Amino acid sequence: MTPQQGKTAKRLGIAVLLQVLTIVWLLYAEFAAVAQGGNSTISELAWRAWADQPGAILGILLPLTAATAYLGGHFFWQSNRTMDRIRKGE
């Protein structure tokens, strides 16, 4: 593995870890609210935020979507390049 591949793998690992931690935290908040007899806090929060500030929500979601697409494309491109090198025996 080249140093560049190591950096990319590390960044991808950090991104995946952050996503997993965010999902776990959101699920914990959701289940805690339901256990206390409340409604779904995540969906209520999301809909209230969307109703109050749709531009702000889009301002957050669009860059996150673009970053996710970029990282996915970069990972795919680098994987193809690595496999091509392996096939050529480099």
- Residue by residue, pLDDT tens for the chain (90 residues) are 677 777 888 888 888 899 999 888 888 877 777 777 766 677 777 777 778 888 887 888 888 888 888 888 888 888 888 888 888 887
Residues 32, 39: Cα–Cα separation, whole Å: 10
Residue 64: predicted pLDDT: 86
Residue 77: predicted pLDDT: 81
Amino acid (one-letter) located at 52 = D
Residue 21: predicted pLDDT: 93
DSSP symbol at 89? T
Amino acid (one-letter) located at 30 = E
Task: Say if CB 54 and CB 41 are below 8 A apart.
Answer: no
Task: Say if CB 12 and CB 71 are below 8 A apart.
Answer: yes
Reduced to 3 states (helix: H, G, I; strand: E, B; else coil), residue 14 is helix
Residue 38: predicted pLDDT: 65
- Helix ranges (H only) for 1-90 are 3-35, 41-52, 54-88
